Structure 1
Amino acid sequence: MNLCEKSAENMEYMIKKITEKLNMINISAVQPTHFNVNMYEDLKEIYDHVMKKNTFSPSEMQAIAEELGNLRKSTL
């Protein structure tokens, strides 16, 4: 998978991997359809950050969830 290409499929993949790695309970709040491809670079930055870390503090997890929420809000 080439995540350098902007596509809905790549966004769906990144969102799935982010929610899996963070063990997000309310994944229904972070659906690929909630994000616009115009926010691809921002989502990719979050994805890259999450993938390179092994553990997250509660405050880091909250900050990531808030950032995803901000991206989601700006596209609805």
Structure 2
Amino acid sequence: MNLEEATNANLSYILSELAEKLQVVNRTIMQPEDYDLEKYEELKFMYDMVIQKGSLSASETQAFLDELRAVRR
């Protein structure tokens, strides 16, 4: 899968993976239709950081969730 392209399928994949890695309980905040493809690069950057980091502290997880709220429609 080439995540460099801003497509709806890639957006769905990134959000699903972020929800899993951040252990999001309320998955309704991770619905792809709530995010613009224009914000894809920001979401991809967050995804890359989470994947690279591996495990996150509680405060890091909260910071990522706050950033996701900021780019959500």
- Aligned residues with identical type, % of pairs: 38
| 1:6-29 Cα deviation digits (max 9, x unpaired) | 101100000000111111111111
**Is structure 2 residue 15 aligned with structure 1 residue 36?**
no
Runs of 4+ in 1 over 6 A off after TM superposition: none
Q: State the TM-score, normalized to the length of structure 2.
A: 0.95
TM-score (norm 1): 0.91
Q: Structure 2 stretches of 5 or more lacking a match?
A: none
Aligned to 2:21: 21
Q: Distance in 1 between matches of 2:51 and 2:64?
A: 12
